Amino acid sequence: MKERNKHAEPEWICSKCEVPLQKGKVNVAYMQGMFPVDLHKCPACGQVFIPEDLALGKMAQVEKLLEDK
**Residue 51 confidence (pLDDT):** 84
Provide the whole-model pTM.
Answer: 0.65
Which pLDDT score, from 0 to 100, does residue 31 have?
Answer: 74
Find the helix or strand (DSSP H, E) in which 63 lies. helix 59-68
> Domain span at residue 23?
2-68
Q: What is the pLDDT of residues 18-64, one digit of tens each?
A: 999 999 999 988 777 788 889 999 999 999 998 888 778 776 776 77
- Residue 49: closest CA among 14, 25, 11: 14
Q: How far apart are CA 62 and CA 9, in angstroms?
A: 25
In the chain, how many domains are there?
Answer: 1
CATH classification at residue 52: 3.10.20
| pLDDT value, residue 69 | 63
pLDDT of residue 47: 94
